[in-house]
Chain A
Amino acid sequence: MEQLALIVLNSLVYGLLLFMLSVGLTLIFGMMGVLNLAHASFYMLGAFLAYTVSIRLGFWAALVVVPVLVGGVGAVVERYGLRTVHKHGHVAELLFTFGLAYIIGEIVPLVWGRNPVPYRVPPELDFALFQIGANAYPAYRLFMMGVAIAMFLALFLALARTRLGLVVRAALTHPDMVGMLGHDVPKVFTLVFGAGCALAGLAGVIAGNAYTTEPGMARSLGAIVFAVVVMGGLGSIWGALIASLLIGFVQVGSISLDLPLGAVLTRLGVSIPSVMPDLWSISIARVAPVVPYLLLVLVLAVRPRGLMGTRSA
């Protein structure tokens, strides 16, 4: 029972983190039709910048400064890079963001080295909040959850209640019409791209110290974020939330299941084929990382609209 509570809490934290990353990506795709392959790179940039800023000014300054910095970089990239290639079509945009991810992936080890950096949880939050069975639950995890929920509420209110949010929502479905009505749609694009990158940067600030801050973090999370966005339905915030939590549970939950595949099949009453013996001895925990990619491929092939999307990818 304690084990279950721990799994639920951990997967909730992980799922909300995935949501912070995917909400920016899904908004950007929904509005501009651009799949930003560099989105997870902005998350990585956020974590590394937070490390540097937190050494000099402390964690709380980093929490404020770094998302602004990363958002600024994102806005500049959109204004001077993406907008230039836009006229060459979607494949050119994909190539551009691919190249951007490649460059950020090379700059980060150039500046911060190839090994993980010692980015630590701030001492104010570095204590055990409560005990679950034999395990102490760190307060920082709860703080992460709080930031993610606060961000979701702020974003939801901004989209639902402000004039700018109205324009953004309208531009999600009818960008041409919004432009006809006299709104500066390119400027809205830059804003949304920058805001999406800022959210990815914020996710980097609060997750970099809870997990590890290392140059491979963008790659390991990038494809999972695509899986979330595609599953949830491109452009759908609610879909991104549901898919994030779902994949969070699948990932975290299955890590604690240390059963071989074959044993699961036998328990289900299926006899194990004699081909490929090493396949059936793999434990569920090791299969877990594969699941998001499997979902990505299956959803794109079978239901391109995803869970909540209105348009296909």
Chain B
Amino acid sequence: MLAPAQVIVARPRAGSALRSMLPWVLVAALALVMPHVVPGGFGLSLLCRMGIAIVFALSFNMLLGQGGMLDFGHAVFLGLGGFLAMHFMRLADAGWWLPLPLLPLAGAVGGLLAAIAAGWIATRRAGTAFAMITLGVAELVVAIVLLLPGTFGGEEGLSGDRSSGPRVLGFDFGTQLQAYHLIAAWAWGCALLMWLYTRTPLGRLANAVRDNAERVGFLGYNPARIRWLVFALSGLFAGVAGGLAALNDEIVTSGNMGPDASGGVLLMTFIGGIGTFWGPVVGAILITFLSVALSTVTDAWQLYSGLLFVAMVVWAPGGLSGIILAHAPLVRAGRLGRVVPGYLVCLPGLVLAVAGTVGLAELAFRLQAVRNGASPRPVFGIAVDPGSLLPWLVALALLLAGALLLRRTAPPARAAWQEASVASTAP
């Protein structure tokens, strides 16, 4: 539908199972090393957020990328899973014997049940109607959650204490490092399960329903039933992400399941790329990192991520992983050198356009700050007066010059890529 199916169907060969497990071993090793590489508690909590975002984005892509289902309310399953997990955490606080490492299982059950119920209505339809139903269901659920303060804690949400449960192998998970190891283990396991799912008959059927539901129907399968099953499984993993978020934050609120959260997972998944299994992982890591790194520098980072998203939708529907994948055959054939000059020629235009856009956004924000009586911070290290016309004209000129340059330089670069990739893939 959106991007051509990039799933490589490989016949299992001798030793291929071992070889395909190699990346997973490497990822596990990387996850163990990371806390010792990144500095301090800040980096550690960022890693925890990334782990949760990876599970969430992968579960979202089970629908969008692999099943062709655009879910505008996916955070509902994360939120409901999180709330159920939080209820169990509070039971542990009250003295029940509930080991914390199993808490995400409660999240999984919550997400699964919610997705079975929502999917019963939503998955009868596909395409735009499906997207609209998920939108309606999400609004409905969030409104109901706020109406039931006894069960969901109202505006403040529910909070608990993750370290009050019984010790497991001597760990009480009070420290962030112990919580990280737990989150990393769950994220790794869930990612592996979701990858294995893509190789099951159900995973393949989901691809087929995405590409041609009518034909799947003629083969004797019920496309709506397949969508429902996939939807339920996706809700299960989103619920695990919710359970992990509950034990990481020790609080769950209706904000965790609102339209912002649903939009956020759509953004990160699409920017990472929905055509590959690992694309959402790239997006989750990148957007989580940017949200922390950029939000300390600028107040407009959400605008930038939105602009990046729209740019991807218009010019690179395969996302970052799609861009990488498009160049893989060139690298293998040793033809990357043919496209690089074209890209370098495009670079000045791109830099100018981005600088102009950022300049305009930052000026608008500073004008706002000046009106509120604050002194404006410099833009790109240059002290500017957002009330005067000159900086606006400069930013606008940069944007226009960049756009004009790109109009000139982009077509030859694209042509060079097409020529090189045709030459690389030809036998």
Contacts and interface: CB of A to CB of B under 8 A. Distances in A.
Contact of B303 (A91, A98, A107, A300): A107
Central interface residue in A84, A91, A111, A282, by most chain B CB within 10 Å: A91
A223 B263 CA distance: 14
Interface string B1-20: 11000000000000000000
B306 A106 contact: yes
B149 A223 contact: no
A313 B310 contact: no
B414 to A, nearest CB: 14
Contact of B136 (A85, A227, A289): A227
Contact of A300 (B136, B300, B364): B136
A84 B361 CA distance: 25
A290 B151 CA distance: 18
Interface size on A, as a range, is 35 or more
B133 interface: yes
A167 to B, nearest CB: 25
Interface in B183-203: none
A165 B143 CA distance: 40
A268 interface: no
Interface string B289-306: 000000000011011001
B302 A113 contact: no
Chain A's interface: helix, strand, loop or mixed, by majority? Answer: helix
A85 B364 CA distance: 29
Contact of B135 (A226, A286, A290): A226
Nearest to A113: B368
Interface in A192-222: 219
B309 interface: yes
A283 B311 CA distance: 45
Contacts, number: 135
Central interface residue in B128, B132, B368, by most chain A CB within 10 Å: B132
Contacts of A92: 2, 313, 317
A257 to B, nearest CB: 15
A300 B125 contact: yes
B147 A103 contact: no
Contacts of A301: 121, 124-125, 133
Nearest to B362: A110
Central interface residue in B121, B125, B135, B367, by most chain A CB within 10 Å: B135
B259 A219 contact: yes
B70 interface: yes
A287 interface: yes
B144 interface: yes
A102 B150 contact: no
B133 A88 contact: no
Nearest 3 CB-CB pairs, A to B?
A296-B136, A278-B150, A99-B310
20 contacts: A33-B128, A85-B314, A91-B68, A95-B313, A98-B72, A103-B307, A106-B306, A111-B364, A111-B367, A111-B368, A223-B135, A226-B132, A286-B147, A289-B143, A296-B133, A297-B137, A300-B133, A301-B121, A304-B129, A312-B129
Interface of B: 1-2, 68, 70, 72, 121, 124-125, 127-129, 131-133, 135-137, 139-140, 143-144, 147-151, 259, 263, 266-267, 270, 299-300, 302-303, 306-307, 309-310, 313-314, 317, 361, 364-365, 367-368, 371-372
Interface of A: 33, 35, 81, 84-85, 88-92, 94-96, 98-100, 102-103, 106-107, 110-113, 219, 223, 226-227, 230, 276-279, 282, 286-287, 289-290, 293-294, 296-297, 300-301, 304, 312-313
Given A81-B314, A111-B364, A279-B148, 19 more contacts: A91-B68, A92-B2, A94-B128, A95-B270, A96-B313, A100-B310, A102-B309, A107-B303, A110-B299, A113-B372, A219-B259, A276-B150, A278-B148, A278-B149, A282-B147, A297-B121, A300-B121, A300-B132, A300-B133
